[in-house]
């Protein structure tokens, strides 16, 4: 399994989206998020975007007030994951138009669906923005 | 709780309301708000109106996912809503299921089977896709088994949208239900030739995951992967294919020759850093023998290291660390860059650099590297400073101080390290100091010197992290006191008032060491005056007497004490140790009396300490002093009146205690206990209920968590007390007890007297056979050591011998377990091999890889599905499978035979393998056979 989890966390350390690709209990999730967020948020712009934590490698990137953190196993290509994060942000940007924290808060489900289109079972399955967004647009039209 | 009312449905708060409400609640009261909302949700979710239910579930999912609210109680509602006709409701239901269900424990998952099956065969691709994503996150063995046919159909769906998702789901199904491999594998392989990037990327991703776990099984697919490597221009796909090759190439050298060129080409051509880095990583991990490619890769790494982007720098260092394993020149060439990275602003980069530096360490440069690192540590923040120290300690101690040649330097270095202000590695330094003391005899003089500098410095007491180091220093000072230049000075240091700052356990070590020093001084004094016949004194007279009496006693005792005495005589009379030459002038009666008084004044108050360890040790020392003091006064008074009454005991006592202390302590194997043979007639599993009354009046052994206090040391120290109570007992009794004790365990202490100690008078706790084994083992060890020395002829003086235990310290226990496991596994393998279809279900639990392997194995076996024939022709391997299986089987057997052999090296290796988990082991065994069969197949295709 390449990607183990995707987290979106704001500057205050509040989780805005959490998607795990392996089952963790609530307590484990909370502990993991707490530790990782503490580690990553303490870092500055001059430092690299990779943090090793437990048996994960966390690749993270900050966009305005939101941190995107992706936990991968050690075999994964870190730079590709950075590209993946960027793709995710671009996709959200295209859908919400200049995406911000509130968009994700109020459209958490959609954010999950986008992620679902891009990643399944920890594998990246789609990298084309229009392919990712087409089912969501269909859904929007339907409702 | 009341059921949902109409009001609830009408005035139900939406998810947006909840989110807004949460944002408005003052900080600290969120939990109340969430609790209230959960109560609402509990009511609403029972509604019969799907819309109300859906909103309630949506809110609950939100609170669960972001605020950690428990929603396991709502699992059934998710299942219920999933059958809703409205796609949007279905989405909410499935999302909640995939976010909250635990595949192993959520029981209602099985109720979803039917709904999922229906959705998987639906004509609406969005329903299908939804069902697939849900399945991939909540899949358990039952779901996987029941839904395999539906997913199988979707694997060749003409709609790319669902096909790629089906492929991604299959990975999860394989994990849960390995038998699915036999059904689906061929279709997945077919997808490797798909032109759609989504499908290709997914299927390559799938193989990447599978290969990671058990690469050997996928060697036959190398041609397909190769085609993708050469033809594909999609970076995502290429990265995954490179990862696959990184795993396959080490298994099949001929593959390396083929792929090294395209990979180098990609590296030269691509502008994408991610792909370039993957190429570099593949080359340095798996193609390290292709010099041109490695040079190219190292050039690229250099670029990364020089880049301003911290990400690239970090990855560059990581890649360099991989190169270092085989091509250390690359690191040495870029040494400056690496050392520079040690002072980077980013601690992660610093850590990588540190790891890299440590990988360069060898016998020749360890001193230089440690010097650089220590100066770096002094400049760094406390946290990183300790990282550096930790790495140094780890690297230097690796494999019994493999890289250390000059132990004098190293122990001095350890002493310096302990004094670094931020140092928090006291415990590790303590362990190493003591360990070196035990293992490396030649290092002891310098060790004593270092320890003296540590104990004598009153400034060190202030730092609590130092206490462990001080404990080691105190122990060394006491244990090897005969190497000290000035025992009096050491004694003063051990008794200085600031020791009250130490923790009780460390203090106990201090007192114990003071005890040893005292005994040593007294004993030396006795020797000295005893040799000096012109100065008869009551104390000295008794010394030869002791010896004579000793000779009348048990043989074992005599031999023991005589060797000790001989040693001692040599030390004192030959004047070879610094103390002996210096000490004669110190060893006057006045100084001895002063010493005894000093000890008495300082330890007196401690006899009332509330800490048992401190108290007990203090009273031991005081007991000895009480015994010895009257004699000393006699000496001073020169009155020889009634000396004969009590005095033999006193001087004997000193001698006995001194003897007890002067035996070398050796390292003790972790398995020593296990190797003590169980005496005949001892039933270990007997009910221990009556233990209480047996041991009732015995002093319970102090269970110390403190590493320095060795159990047998406690034995030794308790002797005087016990003796002083029962003066009528001949004092040699204790020595003989001790001798027996040592004889019983002596083998495992690895002291130099080991072999000599085996005497006949001891009951047969271990039979001669054991001895023989141990002796041969010792022999093996000795030859090993001599080999080590011979290996370094260029050094002026030989490296000090480091005592290593023959059994690899701590391997045995795990080894046995591993062997048992391996047996079970090979049993399972045989079952699988001989098994027919009837056993299929019992194999369900076997690992995914093995069944994958089985899949490949069964290529030639006529199976209803046509997949095998395709693959067979693909590989042009006609009919090799049958022989392969047979061959394979014999291979497995061979392994087992070898396992049972005595060859320890091999056992160790085996153990390492099985460490990776039984599944792997199993497939490894299978794979061995497979390689023989499959390897000739690939080149046909590639060349």
CB B186 within 8 A of CB B865: yes
Question: Which tokens belong to B438?
Answer: 């035990």
Look at the block and give the residue holding tokens 């992706």.
A70
Average pLDDT over residues B323-339: 84
Q: What is the predicted pLDDT for the residue at B118?
A: 93
More confident residue, B131 or B718: B131
The answer on pLDDT for B307 being more than 70 is: yes
| Contact (CB<8Å) B274/A80 | yes
Q: Which of B67, B154, B205, B303 to mutate to test the interface with A (most CBs of A within 10 A)?
A: B205
Q: pLDDT by residue (tens digit) across B339-348?
A: 888 888 888 8
| B591 — pLDDT class (breaks 50, 70, 90) | confident
B410 φ/ψ sector (left φ>0, alpha ψ -120 to 50, else beta): alpha
Q: Is the pLDDT of residue A19 over 90?
A: yes
Contact between residue B100 and residue B71 where contact means Cβ atoms under 8 Å apart: yes
Asked whether the beta carbons of B920 and B213 are under 8 A apart, the reply is yes
d(CA B236, CA B286): 20
pLDDT at residue B910 is higher than 70: no
Sorted by sequence, the CB contacts under 8 Å of residue B150 that are 6+ apart come out as B117, B120, B121
User: Are the CB atoms for B174 and A1 separated by under 8 Å?
Assistant: no
Q: Which residue has the higher pLDDT, B106 or A59?
A: A59
Look at B313 and B580; give whichever has higher pLDDT.
B313
Q: Is the pLDDT of residue B849 over 60?
A: no
**Residue-wise pLDDT tens digits, B266-283:** 999 988 899 999 999 999
Pick from B474, B426, B466: which is nearest to B450 by CA? B474
Q: Mutual orientation of helices B112-120 and B125-138 as an angle, nearest 10°?
A: 140
Contacts of B175 (CB under 8 A, 6+ apart): B139, B848
Q: How far is A47 from chain B (nearest CA, A)?
A: 5
Selected residues 879-938 of chain B with any CB under 8 Å from a CB in chain A:
none
State the Cα–Cα distance between residues B733 and B752, nearest whole angstrom.
Answer: 24
Which pLDDT belongs to residue B78?
Answer: 92
Residue % of chain B over a pLDDT of 70 = 63
Report residue B134 as tokens.
Answer: 């849900």
| Residue B625, pLDDT above cutoff 90 | no
Q: Which residue of A has its CA nearest to B314?
A: A48
Q: How far apart are CA A117 and CA A134, in angstroms?
A: 10
Residues 193-232 of B with CB under 8 A from A: 197-198, 201-202, 205-206, 208-209, 212
Span B223-261, pLDDT tens digits: 999 999 999 989 999 999 999 999 999 998 889 998 999
Residue B179, token pair as written in the block: 């038998």
Note the pLDDT tens digit of each residue in B192-219: 888 888 899 999 999 998 898 888 889 8
CB pair distance less than 8 Å for A77 and B103:
no
Here the tokens at position B723 are 């003796």
Q: What is the pLDDT of residue B875?
A: 40
**Cβ density class B838-873: b for 16+ within 10 Å, e for less:** eeeeebeebbbbbbbbbbbbebbeeeeeebbeebbe
CB distance A127–B201 less than 8 Å?
yes
Read off the pLDDT band of B880 (50, 70, 90): very low
Element (H, E) at A70: strand A66-72
Please compute the mean of the pLDDT values over residues B618-629 and round it to a whole number. 83
User: pLDDT digit string (tens) for B754-792?
Assistant: 333 333 443 334 444 444 444 444 434 433 443 343 344
Q: From the CA of A4, how many Å to the nearest CA of chain B?
A: 12
Contact B913, B924 (CB under 8 A): yes
Q: How far is A119 from chain B (nearest CA, A)?
A: 9
For residue B164, give every residue at least 6 positions away whose Cβ sits within 8 Å of its Cβ, in sequence order, or none: A125, A126, B196, B198, B199, B201, B202, B203
Contact of B464 with B507, CB cutoff 8 Å: no
| CA dihedral sign, ordered B867, B873, B879, B882 | negative
> Is 0.90 topped by the overall pTM?
no
Beta-carbon contacts of residue B881 (< 8 Å; ≥ 6 apart): B857, B858, B859, B860, B861, B872, B933
How far does the CA of residue A10 sit from the closest CA of chain B (Å)?
12
Find all residues with CB under 8 Å of B599, minimum gap 6, and list them.
Answer: B491, B495, B514, B518, B621, B625
**Mean of the pLDDT values across residues B356-370?**
86
In the sheet that holds A50-53, the strands lie side by side as A15-20, A3-10, A66-72, A56-63, A50-53
**Which residue among A108, A131, A135 places its CB closest to the CB of B62?**
A108
Query: Does A51 contact B345 at a Cβ distance shorter than 8 Å?
Result: no
Question: According to the model, what pLDDT value does residue A115 have?
Answer: 93
Q: How far apart are CA A32 and CA A26, in angstroms?
A: 10
In the structure encoding, which two tokens stand for residue B850, read together?
């093995």
Confidence grade of residue B113 (pLDDT, cut at 50, 70, 90): very high
Q: Which residues of B are less than 8 Å from A109 in CB distance?
A: 58, 91-92, 95
**Distance (Å) from the C-alpha of residue B201 to the closest C-alpha of chain A?**
7
Q: What is the pLDDT of residue B56?
A: 93
The one-character DSSP state at B3 is P
Q: Which pair of tokens denotes residue A117?
A: 């289109």
Residue B384 forms contact with A (CB below 8 Å): no
Using the Cα atoms of residue B630, residue B634, residue B639 and residue B641 in order, give the sign of their dihedral. Answer: positive
State whether the Cα torsion B440-B446-B452-B458 is positive or negative: negative
pLDDT of residue B165: 92
Q: Residue B150 — very low, low, confident or very high, per pLDDT cuts 50/70/90?
A: very high
Q: Which of A33-42, A50-59, A68-77, B875-884 has the lowest mean pLDDT?
A: B875-884
Separation CA B17–CA B222 (nearest Å):
56
**For residue B242, what is the nearest residue in chain A, using CA coordinates?**
A77
Summarize the confidence of residues B836-864 as an average pLDDT: 40
Interface of B with A in 90-119 (CB under 8 A): 91-92, 95, 99, 102-104
Q: Please say whether the beta carbons of B320 and B330 come within 8 A.
A: yes
Mutation site for B-interface testing, chosen from A72, A77, A100 by largest number of B Cβ within 10 Å: A77
Residue B101: alpha-carbon gap to chain centroid: 34
List the single residue in B with minimal CA-CA distance to A27. Answer: B68
Instruction: Measure the CA–CA gap between B927 and B220, rounded to whole angstroms.
Output: 12
Residues B790-816: pLDDT tens digits? 344 444 566 777 777 655 444 444 444
Q: A interface mutation test: which of B59, B196, B236 has the most A CBs within 10 A?
A: B236
- CA-based nearest residue in chain A for residue B163: A125
> CATH for A3-142, among 3.40.50.720, 3.30.450.60, 3.10.20.440, 3.40.640.10?
3.30.450.60
- Chain A positions touching B201 (Cβ under 8 A) are 124-125, 127
Q: How confident is the model at residue B697 (pLDDT cuts 50, 70, 90)?
A: low
Torsional sign, CA B806, B812, B818, B819: positive
**CB-closest option in B65, B202, B212 to A18:** B65
> Is B247 at the interface with chain A, CB within 8 A?
no
Cβ contacts of B206 on chain A, cutoff 8 Å: 123
pLDDT recorded at residue A7: 94
DSSP 3-state percent helix, strand, coil across chain A (nearest 5): 45, 25, 25
* Rounded Cα gap, residues B258 and B134, in angstroms: 41
What chain B residue is nearest to A84 in terms of C-alpha separation?
A: B236
Chain B residues whose CB is inside 8 A of the A142 CB are 87-88
Chain segment B407-447, per-residue pLDDT in tens: 999 999 999 888 888 888 888 999 999 999 888 888 899 99
- pLDDT tens figures, A71-91: 998 888 999 999 999 999 999
**Residue owning tokens 């087409």:** A134
How many angstroms separate the CA atoms of B795 and B31, rounded? 71
Say if residues B751 and B665 touch (Cβ distance below 8 Å): yes
Query: Which residues of chain A neighbour B315 with C-beta distances below 8 Å?
Result: 50, 78-79
B61, B100 contact by CB (below 8 A)? yes
3-state secondary structure B870-892: HHHHHHCCCCHHHHHHHHHHHHH
Q: What is the mean pLDDT of chain B?
A: 72
* pLDDT band at B926; cut points 50, 70, 90: very low
Question: Among all residues of chain B, which has the CA nearest to that of A50?
Answer: B311
């Amino acid at each position: 399994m390449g990607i183990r989890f995707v987290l979106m966390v704001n500057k205050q350390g509040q989780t805005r989206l959490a998607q795990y690709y392996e089952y963790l209990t609530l307590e484990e999730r909370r502990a993991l998020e707490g530790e990782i967020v503490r580690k990553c948020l303490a870092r500055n712009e001059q430092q690299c975007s990779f943090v090793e934590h437990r048996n994960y490698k966390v690749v993270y990137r900050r966009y305005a007030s939101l941190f995107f953190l992706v936990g991968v196993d050690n075999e994964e290509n870190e730079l590709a994951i950075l590209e993946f994060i960027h793709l995710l942000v671009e996709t959200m940007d295209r859908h919400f138009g200049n995406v911000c924290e509130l968009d994700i808060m109020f459209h958490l489900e959609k954010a999950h669906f986008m992620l679902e289109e891009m990643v399944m079972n920890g594998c990246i399955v789609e990298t084309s923005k229009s392919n990712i967004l087409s089912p969501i647009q269909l859904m929007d039209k339907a409702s | 709780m009341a059921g949902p009312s109409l009001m609830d449905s009408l005035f139900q708060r939406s998810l947006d309301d909840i989110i807004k409400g949460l944002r408005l609640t003052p900080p600290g009261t969120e939990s109340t708000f969430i609790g209230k909302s959960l109560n609402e949700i509990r009511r609403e979710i029972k509604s019969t109106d799907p819309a109300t239910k859906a909103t309630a579930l949506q809110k609950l999912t939100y609170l669960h996912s972001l605020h950690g609210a428990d929603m396991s109680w709502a699992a059934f509602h998710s299942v219920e809503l999933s059958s809703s006709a409205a796609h949007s409701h279905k989405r909410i239901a499935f999302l909640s299921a995939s976010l909250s269900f635990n595949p192993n424990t959520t029981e209602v998952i099985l109720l979803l089977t039917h709904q999922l099956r229906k959705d998987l065969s639906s004509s609406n691709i969005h329903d299908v896709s939804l069902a697939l994503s849900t399945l991939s996150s909540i899949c358990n063995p039952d779901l996987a088994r029941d839904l395999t046919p539906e997913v199988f159909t979707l694997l060749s769906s003409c709609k790319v949208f669902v096909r790629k998702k089906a492929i991604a789901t299959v990975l999860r199904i394989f994990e849960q239900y390995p038998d699915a491999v036999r059904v689906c594998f061929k279709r997945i392989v077919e997808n490797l030739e798909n032109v759609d990037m989504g499908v290709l990327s997914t299927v390559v991703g799938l193989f990447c995951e599978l290969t990671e776990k058990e690469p050997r099984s996928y060697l036959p697919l190398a041609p397909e992967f190769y085609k993708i490597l050469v033809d594909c221009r999609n970076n995502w796909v290429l990265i995954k294919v490179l990862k696959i090759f990184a795993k396959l190439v080490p298994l099949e050298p001929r593959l390396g020759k083929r792929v090294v060129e395209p990979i180098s080409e990609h590296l030269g051509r691509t502008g994408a850093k991610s792909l370039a880095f993957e190429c570099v990583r593949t080359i340095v991990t798996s193609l390290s023998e292709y010099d041109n490619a490695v040079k190219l890769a190292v050039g690229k790494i250099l670029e990364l290291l020089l880049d301003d982007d911290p990400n690239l720098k970090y990855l560059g260092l990581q890649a360099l660390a991989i190169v270092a394993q085989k091509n250390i020149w690359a690191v040495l060439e870029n040494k400056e860059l690496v050392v520079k990275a040690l002072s980077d602003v980013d601690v992660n980069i610093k850590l990588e650099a540190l790891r890299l530096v440590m990988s360069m360490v060898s016998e020749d440069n360890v001193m230089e590297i440690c010097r650089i690192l220590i100066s770096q540590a002094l400049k760094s923040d406390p946290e990183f400073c300790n990282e550096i120290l930790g790495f140094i300690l780890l690297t230097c101690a690796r494999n019994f101080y493999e890289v250390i040649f000059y132990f004098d330097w190293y122990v001095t270095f350890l002493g310096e390290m302990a004094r670094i202000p931020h140092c928090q590695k006291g415990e590790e330094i303590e362990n190493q100091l003591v360990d070196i003391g035990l293992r490396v005899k030649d290092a002891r003089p310098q060790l004593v010197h270092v320890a003296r500098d540590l104990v004598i410095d009153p400034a060190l007491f202030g730092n609590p992290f130092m206490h462990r180091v001080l404990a080691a220093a105190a122990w060394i000072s006491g244990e090897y006191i005969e190497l000290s230049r000035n025992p009096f000075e050491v004694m003063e240091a051990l008794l200085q008032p600031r020791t009250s700052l130490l923790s009780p356990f460390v203090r106990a070590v201090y007192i114990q060491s003071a005890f040893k020093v005292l005994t040593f001084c007294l004993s030396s004094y006795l020797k000295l005056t005893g040799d000096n016949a012109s100065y008869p004194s009551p104390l000295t007279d008794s010394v030869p007497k002791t010896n004579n009496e000793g000779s009348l006693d048990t043989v074992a005792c005599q031999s023991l004490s005589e060797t000790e005495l001989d040693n001692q005589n040599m030390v004192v009379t030959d004047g070879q140790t610094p103390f002996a030459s210096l000490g004669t002038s110190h060893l006057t009666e006045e100084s001895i009396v002063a010493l005894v008084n000093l000890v008495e004044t300082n330890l007196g108050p401690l006899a009332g300490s509330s800490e048992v360890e401190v108290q007990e040790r203090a009273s031991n020392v005081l007991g000895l002093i009480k015994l010895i003091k009257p004699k000393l006064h006699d000496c001073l008074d020169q009155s020889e009146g009634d000396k004969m009454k009590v005095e033999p005991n006193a001087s004997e006592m000193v001698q006995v205690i001194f003897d007890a202390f002067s035996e070398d302590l050796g390292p003790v194997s972790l398995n020593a206990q296990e190797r003590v043979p169980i005496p005949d007639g001892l039933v270990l599993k007997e009910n221990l209920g009556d233990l209480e009354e047996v041991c009732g009046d015995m002093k319970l052994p102090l269970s110390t968590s403190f590493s320095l206090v060795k159990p047998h040391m406690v034995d030794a120290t308790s002797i005087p007390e016990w003796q002083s109570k029962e003066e009528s007992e001949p004092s040699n009794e204790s020595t003989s007890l001790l001798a027996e004790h040592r004889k019983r365990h002596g083998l495992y202490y690895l002291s130099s007297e080991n072999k000599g100690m085996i005497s006949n008078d001891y009951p047969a706790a271990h039979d001669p056979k054991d001895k023989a084994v141990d002796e041969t083992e010792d022999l093996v060890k000795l030859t090993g050591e001599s080999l080590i020395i011979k290996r370094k002829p260029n050094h002026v003086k030989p490296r000090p011998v480091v005592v290593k235990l023959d059994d690899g310290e701590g391997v045995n226990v795990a080894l046995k377990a591993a062997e048992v496991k391996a047996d079970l596994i090979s049993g399972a393998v045989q079952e699988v091999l001989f098994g027919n279809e009837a056993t299929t279900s019992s194999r369900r639990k076997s690992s995914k890889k093995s069944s994958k392997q089985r899949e490949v194995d069964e290529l030639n076996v006529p199976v209803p599905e046509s997949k095998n024939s395709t693959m067979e022709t693909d590989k042009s391997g006609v009919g090799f499978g049958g022989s392969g299986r047979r061959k394979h089987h014999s291979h497995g057997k061979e392994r087992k035979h070898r396992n049972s052999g005595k060859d320890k090296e091999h056992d160790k290796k085996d153990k390492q393998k099985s460490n990776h988990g039984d599944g792997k082991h199993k497939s490894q065994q299978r794979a061995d056979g497979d390689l023989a069969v499959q390897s000739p197949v690939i080149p046909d295709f590639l060349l």
